[in-house]
Structure 1
Amino acid sequence: MTTLKDIAKEAGVTVMTVSNVINGKYDKVSKSTVETVTEIARRLDYVPSAAARSLVAKSSRLVGVLLPATEGGEIFLSTHNVAVIGVIERLLRENGYYLFLRGVSATEGVSGTLRSWNLDGAIFIGFLDSEIQQMRASFDTPLVVLESYAAHGDFMNVRLDDRKGGYLATRHLIQNGHQRIAFVGTEISERGVDRERYEGYLQALREAGIGGEPVALLSYADTYSNGVEAGVTLCTEHPEVTAVFATADQFAVGIIDGVRSLGRTVPDDLSVVGFDNLEIAATSRPPLTTIAQDLNRKAATAVDLLLQSLQNKEEQPGETILDVELVERESVRNLKRA
């Protein structure tokens, strides 16, 4: 591998001179020397050390994207996260930054990760607010969080109007004549995405005068397999339920297949509404009615806020709330027409 010393030897100059040319400090070197060193570096296929340039510039051009590590160590259980990370990586690359992806637990902390890799900034996806506050206390790197409901003055947050999403989904089912509507989501022990969607679900039920104890099935993760299990449970243990709002399309598609595994169908035996409007919503059978969010805009907003903070050092908005809307397809049966 070609080094600065190799270039200096062939050019007949000092290593410091070569370093100045490579790092763009042309005011300290003559024009002819710049041309000579540049030509030799090109011919010898010299590649600057990213680590060395990071030390000189005091910037690694690395942005950390951190997600919760599950008990099994997996971080890609959510297709939503995969889609968001794909957009984040592309936008960072287009702006000359590199993505550093890591799964962490709140208990292990993140300050060591940020320091050891000299990350310029970070984006958190999928953490509980209590975990975010705990981790944030250990570092001061510019931070954007996706989907936080914490009181925040020391990081930027991009989230959806989740309560509205839960409300729209449930109201749509009610407008189609459903009275016994189940909720399927993840654990909702503290305020966050699924709790807000659950509150929207309850609001729609209250407005319609629908009483009784809500049927809520909660899992540790919004995976397809958990959705299949929920579909089977609804059909076998809650025959009174005619419709379900699931907080993720993965859940919803799993529910559809769980219902199908019992010889029943969606929407004839159970109507289903999901959340996210991922590609699987349009390709499922039947196509899934869902609450749509603009994943591209959410990811782009997060990257834009972080890069503005890194490049301009100006104070950015503390919170950005993005709208949602209902997309009707074929997974909801209108009982009023039955």
Structure 2
Amino acid sequence: MKDDKPTSFDIAYRAGVSQSTVSRALRNSPLVNEETRLKVQQIARELNYKVDKNASSLRSQQTKTIALLLCEHHGTGNSLINPFFLSMVGSITRASANRGFDLLISFQQFSEDWHADYEDANRADGIIFLGYGDYETFVKKLTYLTEVGAHFITWGPVLEGQPGVSIGCDNFNSAYNAAQHLIALGHKNIAFLGDVSEHSPEFADRYHGFCKALQEAGIAVDPKLQVAAETSEAEGYKATMSLLQRRVPFDAVFGASDLIAIGAMTALEEAGMHVPQDVALMGFDDIPMAAYTHPALTTVQQDTQLAGELLVENLLKLVSGERPESMLLPAKLMVRSSCGAKPFKK
């Protein structure tokens, strides 16, 4: 016997939208514009559409799958993945498998409503976010996820009043220690390359830690020695060329990421400046490539293995009804040749 009960697909057909848009509209999602939302809701009333209780109950069952959503990164060639996150992906995969969970990996940009497309669609029990692009835009989406009761955790900044649970690096103190190292080597005119606006709170924290080290050493913070850059080799190269055009003396460069520092290394070489003889160079992240640049890059190592473990562990706590706290992880200074100091022996 045919079941003539209307479905969300019937509504989608009449409204000329996707089924996932119908799901969002019926939940009053702000991601659906008002005209479409009202149209969908009117059609649902006309069809006397009711939410399928059996389908709803399916969403209470565990899928034993975790969704890992990466921010698409266009500064790293065809891979579209920031190399810093590659080792963390491996750690998350291992931690998930050890707990009997599969991992579903995708890009954040492929979805407009992460909750509807993963948890609501019964594709995953929770979501891990790596990277975020523009933070101001990202946090609005996190706020919505909190409002609809989604289970998610982010790797990134840990800020007061931030929605959800976040695990991140202690960027302030790590950059403070790194800047102290450069100062101890005798450098006083240290440039900082990285976006320090509210759109990049992690880089901003690194800059603030950097500034504190300068101020404690009695060195004035010169705004001309700070150049905005996103995390890519091309951005680091461009920022360094801009710095050189300012004709402000500098004897060291602190890149807010390794990719920025590697781009800076190329620009300095093209300008006839040798690292570390003329300019010391510091990065942040310790991506695998950092140990194989010439000279090898001094940097700040984030513990990606521990980060991956904690992201999975705390997401599953959220799924089970617990309320874990956000946390900052310490980082380690990796002294190599680019700063001019004798590298630490392992």
Larger Rg belongs to = 1
Q: Could you tell me how far 1:70 is from its partner in structure 2?
A: 5.6
2:228 is the alignment partner of 1:218:
yes
Which residue of the partner structure matches residue 44 of structure 2? none
C-alpha contact (below 8 Å) 1:106/1:135 kept by paired residues: no
Which stretches in structure 1 are left out of the alignment for 5+ residues?
Answer: 1-51
**Residue 70 of structure 2: which of 42, 67, 78 is its match?**
67
Q: Could you tell me how far 1:87 is from its partner in structure 2?
A: 1.6
2:262 is the alignment partner of 1:257:
no
Q: Could you tell me how far 1:75 is from its partner in structure 2?
A: 7.8
Do the aligned partners of residues 236 and 77 (structure 1) sit closer, same or farther apart at CA in structure 2, a change above 3 Å counting? farther
Do the aligned partners of residues 136 and 270 (structure 1) sit closer, same or farther apart at CA in structure 2, a change above 3 Å counting? same
Q: Could you tell me how far 1:196 is from its partner in structure 2?
A: 0.5
Please list, as runs of the form range in 1=range in 2, the aligned pairs for 1:162-173 lying within 5 A after superposition: 162-173=171-182
C-alpha contact (below 8 Å) 2:70/2:81 kept by paired residues: no
- 1:329 counterpart letter in structure 2: R
For residues 90 and 315 of structure 2, the distance between their equivalents in structure 1, rounded to whole angstroms, comes to 16
For residues 166 and 187 of structure 1, the distance between their equivalents in structure 2, rounded to whole angstroms, comes to 13
Do the aligned partners of residues 88 and 319 (structure 1) sit closer, same or farther apart at CA in structure 2, a change above 3 Å counting? same
SS of structure 2 residue aligned to 1:209: coil
**Residue 206 of structure 2: which of 194, 197, 220 is its match?**
197
Which residue of the partner structure matches residue 239 of structure 2? 230
C-alpha contact (below 8 Å) 2:67/2:105 kept by paired residues: yes
For residues 59 and 271 of structure 1, the distance between their equivalents in structure 2, rounded to whole angstroms, comes to 52
2:317 is the alignment partner of 1:313:
no
C-alpha contact (below 8 Å) 2:64/2:100 kept by paired residues: yes
Q: Could you tell me how far 1:267 is from its partner in structure 2?
A: 0.7
**Residue 329 of structure 1: which of 331, 336, 340 is its match?**
336
For residues 183 and 91 of structure 2, the distance between their equivalents in structure 1, rounded to whole angstroms, comes to 35
Do the aligned partners of residues 175 and 153 (structure 1) sit closer, same or farther apart at CA in structure 2, a change above 3 Å counting? closer
Q: Could you tell me how far 1:208 is from its partner in structure 2?
A: 1.3
Do the aligned partners of residues 129 and 300 (structure 1) sit closer, same or farther apart at CA in structure 2, a change above 3 Å counting? farther
- 1:178 counterpart letter in structure 2: H
Number of residue pairs aligned between Structure 1 and Structure 2: 279
Provide Cα deviations, 1:121-150, integer angstroms capped at 9, x if missing partner: 011222226623433424322211112333
C-alpha contact (below 8 Å) 1:75/1:103 kept by paired residues: no
Which residue of the partner structure matches residue 79 of structure 1? 83
**Residue 177 of structure 1: which of 162, 181, 186 is its match?**
186
SS of structure 1 residue aligned to 2:124: coil
2:136 is the alignment partner of 1:126:
no
Percent same amino acid at aligned positions? 26
For residues 61 and 90 of structure 2, the distance between their equivalents in structure 1, rounded to whole angstroms, comes to 27
Do the aligned partners of residues 185 and 191 (structure 1) sit closer, same or farther apart at CA in structure 2, a change above 3 Å counting? closer
SS of structure 2 residue aligned to 1:255: helix
Which residue of the partner structure matches residue 34 of structure 2? none
**Residue 98 of structure 2: which of 94, 99, 114 is its match?**
94
For the aligned residue pairs, the C-alpha RMSD in angstroms reads 2.9
For residues 316 and 246 of structure 2, the distance between their equivalents in structure 1, rounded to whole angstroms, comes to 50
For residues 210 and 137 of structure 1, the distance between their equivalents in structure 2, rounded to whole angstroms, comes to 43
Q: Could you tell me how far 1:179 is from its partner in structure 2?
A: 1.2
Do the aligned partners of residues 321 and 284 (structure 1) sit closer, same or farther apart at CA in structure 2, a change above 3 Å counting? same
Moved more, 94-103 or 263-272: 94-103
For residues 267 and 71 of structure 1, the distance between their equivalents in structure 2, rounded to whole angstroms, comes to 29
For residues 104 and 171 of structure 2, the distance between their equivalents in structure 1, rounded to whole angstroms, comes to 28
